[in-house]
Structures are given as structure tokens and as C-alpha cells.
A and B are shown apart, each in its own frame.
Chain A
Amino acid sequence: KQEVTQIPAALSVPEGENLVLNCSFTDSAIYNLQWFRQDPGKGLTSLLLIQSSQREQTSGRLNASLDKSSGRSTLYIAASQPGDSATYLCAVRGSEGGYQKVTFGTGTKLQVIP
């Protein structure tokens, strides 16, 4: 059974800092990994999708890497801004019992202080 863990659970940084969020998963047989952000009381916004054959994806100030063999992914946020404050979730897509299944991590709550 896939288990996805995110460290740290919460993070508070001053504006302008670069930061790294970590995601680890136990079963490396995955199709892809996706990073999301969730604002309080809202749905999820997709940030980056990394296919199992890829090593990283970049979008603006965000860079996500994937090391499938070690079961790890990192989300790097450059020059953080107060608007980046949200909960960040990673989700791993694999298969279980013949069906596709997505397992979410526990989330990292980020606060960027102006």
C-alpha cells in the first residue's frame, strides 16, 4: 500500500527566501507525481506534474524534481512571496488491485511573512 509523507508539516519563512518542500513515497512503481496548492476552504490548484520518466519540471518560480528510485520529490520555491502562503500537497499516481489510484501526502502548510 502506497504511503506518502511530506516534511515539514508546517513552515514559516520571511518573504524573499528560497525554500524546499519534501515529499516521500514508499512504492516507486508510479505513473506520475503531482504537486498542488490548497488555499483555506478551497479546492486544489495543480502546480506541476512530473511523469515517472522525467526528473524535473519547472514553472515560473517553482521547480519540482523526482527521484523515483529513492521515492522522493522536492518542490523548490524561489524568492517566496506572501501570496505563496497555502498548504502544498503532493500526490502520487500508481495502480493498486488493477485500478489507478492517487495517494495524497499529508501536506506542508507554508506561511510567508511579509
Chain B
Amino acid sequence: GAVVSQHPSWVICKSGTSVKIECRSLDFQATTMFWYRQFPKQSLMLMATSNEGSKATYEQGVEKDKFLINHASLTLSTLTVTSAHPEDSSFYICSAMGQSNQPQHFGDGTRLSIL
């Protein structure tokens, strides 16, 4: 089945550091990738949708300068949390989709802890 690889799985870093998370579709071309954020005991919150080769569409309330998304190829999207602070600590999950009638496939998530 389709596989999405997300890396790293866990990051602990100091406040002010920028952190990059990668999301790769390993065996299919992902025309669309989604980035989600999940707080403890809550559901997933969509942060942004990215289509290959175009700018990401951010959800209301998500700072595009804070969460930089790059989707330069059909198999790779990156999320960079710039100048991370403790309130950015969360579980970040990416998903990838090929054709619009195909299911989303999710990465295993990245747990980000900012000290």
C-alpha cells in the first residue's frame, strides 16, 4: 500500500531554533499534501494544504511566516517551524494524496518539544 514517510519522529530543541519536518510519499506521486497539528486529546487541525509547484494555502489563524511550507516535488513537502517557542510544541502530522478520489495517506507524525 501507499506509504508516507515523515521525518524526524521526535525533536527536542531550544526556544528560538528553526525546525524542519519532511514528508515524503514513497511509492506514489502526491499532488496534494496536508499538514496538521494535534494537541493532546484533541483531533487534528488542518494547518495548510500544499499543491506541488504552487504556494501553500493556509488555514485561518495559521501564520504563514511562522510555518513555512515547501512542496517542490511530487514526493516531498517540508514544514519549517521558524523561531520555535514552547507554545509551538505539538504533534505535527502530514498526509499525502494522489488523485482527488484517492484516500489520504498519513505519516507517523513528528512530536516537537520546544524547551
Interface size, chain B (Cβ < 8 Å): 24
A42 lies within 8 A of B109 (CB): yes
Q: Chain B interface: which of A12-20, A69-77, A94-102?
A: A94-102
Write out the residue numbers on chain B whose beta carbons fall within 8 Å of the beta carbon of A104: 36, 43-46
Chain A residues in contact with chain B, CB under 8 A? 31-32, 34, 36, 41-46, 49, 51, 89, 91, 93, 97, 99-107
What 0/1 readout, one digit per residue, does chain B (40-83) give for beta carbons within 8 Å of chain A? 00011110010000000100000000000000000000000000
| Contacts beyond the supplied A43-B107, A43-B108, A46-B104: 4 A-B pairs with Cβ under 8 Å | A100-B49, A100-B100, A105-B43, A106-B43
How far apart are A71's CB and chain B's nearest CB, in angstroms?
Answer: 18
Q: Report whether A89 and B44 are in contact in the complex, using a CB–CB cutoff of 8 Å.
A: yes
Interface residues of B in 67-115 (CB under 8 A from A): 91, 93, 95, 100-109, 111
Contacts of A89 in B (CB 8 A): 43-44
Q: Is the CB of A46 within 8 A of B106?
A: yes
Given contacts A43-B6, A43-B93, contact A102 B43 (CB under 8 A): no
